[in-house]
């Protein structure tokens, strides 16, 4: 019937509709398609084409959203007169069927996307959304951060949060592709989140489980998968993981979360210089992959239009030079409990941790990613490889580095690990760490120990840098920080 010329057009069956996601529509132009999604916005018609194709003034234009993109659509003629259509509210879930017309002209410019629009011939509501007081816009257009955080399940639908989370997914995929490339051949593993050793620092940062199979205080949530990754080297070669880490930090800063996504890698047969080069290479190759992908490029352009990838090599500044730089500029420790304010505290001396604000002052002045390296052992965990002490040298230095990014500060922390059994035993003692729970960590040094190093990258901090966000909270699906564990 479709091809017969003696049958009136309105009696011919419509061609079957192809089900498709919005991001895949370009090759389907001119065809009849079926799309499902949410009404992002109901708009008015383009003022220059109010009567186009028999669609009266009451034709309705819709911006449909399905998570992969946005599609303008128009309901004309009788379709626009039905109550379902005239009552259509933002965030209604719908199925639309119609012909995809290239060079959209009917929908207004602010709804136009990708140079095509859907001329709907049939549609249905799959899930209604309310209007009036309960309308979506009334739920999400709040200014108080805590009210907004309570509505995270709804605000995720908005353009900026959804773009950020999509870019985050593409970024993680690009990291994975970089590690998988034969030049790196770093294997992904999934270490445990329930652990019994603390890795990083004093017990204060740990989330202890009240009860683990009847044992009180028997387990805690992981701070870092590093030690587990180290155990993989001899069996699996170089490894990485993307794993949630948990820190019971009390600090309310714009770059600290209680739960964050930790991208960690451990590399064997590398030296300290090579480790920093590896970190910089992985980041730059990941950015190259991201920028070669049109979807990621568009998301990045939406979120951070000014982004230019950093050039290599990254600057490497010894810790001692950083302290001198801060002193020369009169940048002092922060006053207590104010992470964002520089100054008004004591001047920096060798052996101090560098505060968040001072770190940002350093890297913002440089204006590009930079390594700080060789921190004193006194402010670093016990597992870090120590630099042999020069005659007369008081401080013990470590082969450790932090990668700082403008606007954020520390995004990566890494180091060479102590490979020698005797040195490791001495380090436990130096740091007052009971070696008993670490028997498995120590054990490896007796079975073919090798020089190795690794690092952890905070995914939310990386995204805050990449997408130019003020806080890491925006870069997490459901951020957790002191006082916030809902939704
Ligand atoms: O410097 P950190 O504590 O290093 C480690 O945990 C090492 N064991 C990693 C390793 O060598 N495998 O943490 C590494 C990174 C930091 O640079 C930061 O980006 C991120 O993890 N990070 C946090 N991100 C958000 N909120 C927090 N509370 C974070 N703590 C660390």
Q: Do 68 and 197 reside in the same domain of the chain? A: no
Distance 392 CA to ligand 1 centre (A): 33
pLDDT tens-digit readout, 7-38:
777 777 888 999 999 999 999 999 999 999 99
236-247: per-residue pLDDT in tens?
999 999 999 999
Distance 199 CA to ligand 1 centre (A): 11
Question: Which of 197, 243, 262 has most ligand 1 atoms within 8 Å of its beta carbon, as the pocket-test mutant?
Answer: 262
Q: Tens digits of per-residue pLDDT, 212-227?
A: 888 877 899 999 999 9
Residues 166 and 129 in one domain: no
- C-alpha of residue 195 to centroid of ligand 1, in Å: 17
Q: Which residue in 25, 37, 50, 31 sits closest to 105, CA to CA?
A: 50
Task: Please tell me whether residues 97 and 195 are part of one structural domain.
Answer: no
pLDDT reported for residue 55 = 45
Count of domains for the chain: 2
**Segment 361-398, tens digit of pLDDT:** 999 999 999 999 999 999 999 999 999 888 888 899 99
Q: Whose CA is nearest to atom 27 of ligand 1?
A: 256
**Contact status, residue 188 vs residue 239, Cβ threshold 8 Å:** yes
Query: Does residue 49 lie in a domain region?
Result: yes
d(CA 408, CA 465) in angstroms, rounded, equals 6
Residues 410, 270 within the same domain: yes
Token pair of 416 as six digits = 């060479």
pLDDT at 202 over 70: no
Contact between residue 260 and residue 235 where contact means Cβ atoms under 8 Å apart: no
**Residues 6+ away with beta carbon under 8 Å from 387:** 374, 396, 397, 398, 399
CA of 308 to the centre of ligand 1 (A): 25
> Are 163 and 276 found together in one domain?
yes
> Does ipTM exceed 0.90?
yes
- 346 falls within a domain: no
Please write the tens of the pLDDT for every residue from 122-168.
999 999 999 999 999 998 888 888 888 999 999 999 999 999 999 99
User: What is the rounded CA–CA span in Å between residue 143 and residue 224?
Assistant: 35
Ligand 1, atom 1, lies closest to the CA of 413
What CATH number is associated with residue 261?
Answer: 3.30.930.10
Task: Taking residues 162-178, report their average pLDDT.
Answer: 98
User: Residue 421 sits in which domain range?
Assistant: 159-314+368-475
Atom of ligand 1 nearest to the CA of 257: 26
Nearest 5°: phi and psi at 61? -105, 145
**Which is the closest atom of ligand 1 to the Cα of 251?**
28
Give the residues surrounding ligand 1 with Cβ less than 6 Å away.
Answer: 199-200, 223-224, 226, 247, 249, 256-257, 260, 262, 264, 410-414, 454-458, 460-461, 472
Determine the Cα–Cα distance for residues 102 and 44; give it in Å rounded to an integer.
Answer: 19
Same domain, 428 and 392: yes
Is residue 407 a part of any domain in this protein? yes
282 Cβ contact partners less than 8 Å away, ≥ 6 residues apart: 175, 178, 179, 184, 265
Residues 128 and 208 in one domain: no
Report the half-sphere exposure of 207 (CA within 13 A, side-chain side). Answer: 18
CA–CA gap between residue 96 and residue 33 (Å, rounded): 8
> What's the 412 CA to ligand 1 centre distance in angstroms?
7
Q: Rounded to the nearest 5°, which phi and psi values hold at 318?
A: -60, 145
User: For strand 70-75 and strand 116-127, is the pairing parallel, antiparallel, or unpaired?
Assistant: parallel
How many angstroms separate the Cα of 474 from the Cα of each of 163, 207, 283, 304, 470?
11, 23, 21, 14, 8
């Amino acid at each position: 019937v479709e091809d017969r010329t003696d049958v009136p057009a309105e009696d011919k069956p419509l061609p079957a509709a192809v089900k498709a996601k919005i991001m895949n529509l370009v090759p389907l132009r001119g065809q009849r398609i079926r799309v499902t999604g949410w009404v992002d916005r109901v708009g008015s018609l383009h003022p220059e084409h109010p009567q186009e194709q028999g669609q009266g003034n009451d034709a309705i234009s819709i911006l449909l959203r399905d998570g992969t993109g946005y599609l303008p659509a128009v309901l004309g003629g009788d379709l626009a007169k039905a109550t379902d259509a005239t009552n259509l509210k933002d965030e209604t879930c719908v199925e639309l069927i119609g012909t995809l017309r290239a060079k959209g002209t009917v929908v207004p410019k602010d709804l136009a996307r990708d140079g095509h629009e859907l001329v709907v011939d049939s549609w249905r509501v799959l899930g209604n959304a309310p209007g009036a007081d309960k309308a979506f816009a009334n739920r999400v257009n709040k200014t108080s951060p805590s009210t907004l955080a309570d509505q995270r399940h709804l605000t995720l639908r908005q353009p900026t949060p959804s773009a950020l989370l999509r870019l985050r997914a593409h970024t993680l995929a690009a990291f994975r592709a970089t590690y998988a490339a034969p030049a790196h051949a770093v294997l992904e593993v999934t270490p445990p989140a329930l652990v019994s050793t603390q890795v990083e620092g004093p017990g204060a940062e740990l989330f202890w489980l009240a009860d683990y199979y009847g044992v009180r205080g028997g387990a805690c949530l992981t701070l870092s998968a590093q030690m587990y990754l180290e155990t993989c080297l001899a069996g699996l070669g170089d490894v990485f993981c993307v794993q949630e880490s948990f820190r019971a930090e009390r600090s309310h800063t714009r770059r600290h979360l209680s739960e964050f996504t930790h991208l960690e890698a451990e590399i064997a047969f590398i030296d300290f210089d090579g480790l920093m080069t590896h970190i910089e290479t992985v980041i730059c190759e990941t950015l190259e992959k991201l920028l070669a992908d049109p979807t990621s490029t568009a998301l990045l352009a939406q979120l951070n239009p000014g982004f230019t990838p950093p050039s290599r090599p990254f600057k490497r500044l010894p810790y001692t030079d950083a302290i001198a730089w801060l002193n020369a500029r009169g940048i002092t420790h922060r006053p207590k409990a104010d992470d964002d304010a520089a100054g008004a505290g004591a001047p920096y001396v060798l052996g101090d941790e560098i505060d968040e604000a001072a770190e940002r002052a350093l890297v913002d002045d440089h204006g590009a990613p930079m390594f700080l390296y060789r921190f004193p052992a006194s402010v670093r965990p016990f597992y870090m490889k120590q630099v042999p002490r020069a005659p007369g040298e008081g401080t013990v230095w470590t082969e450790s580095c932090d990668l700082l990014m403008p606007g954020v500060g520390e995004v990566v922390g890494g180091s060479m690990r102590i490979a020698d059994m005797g040195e490791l035993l001495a380090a436990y003692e130096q740091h007052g760490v009971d070696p008993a729970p670490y028997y498995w960590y120590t054990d490896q040094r007796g079975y073919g120990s090798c020089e190795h190093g690794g690092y952890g990258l905070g995914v939310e901090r990386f995204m805050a840098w990449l997408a130019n966000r003020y806080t890491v909270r925006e870069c997490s699906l459901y951020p957790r920080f002191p006082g916030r564990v809902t939704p």
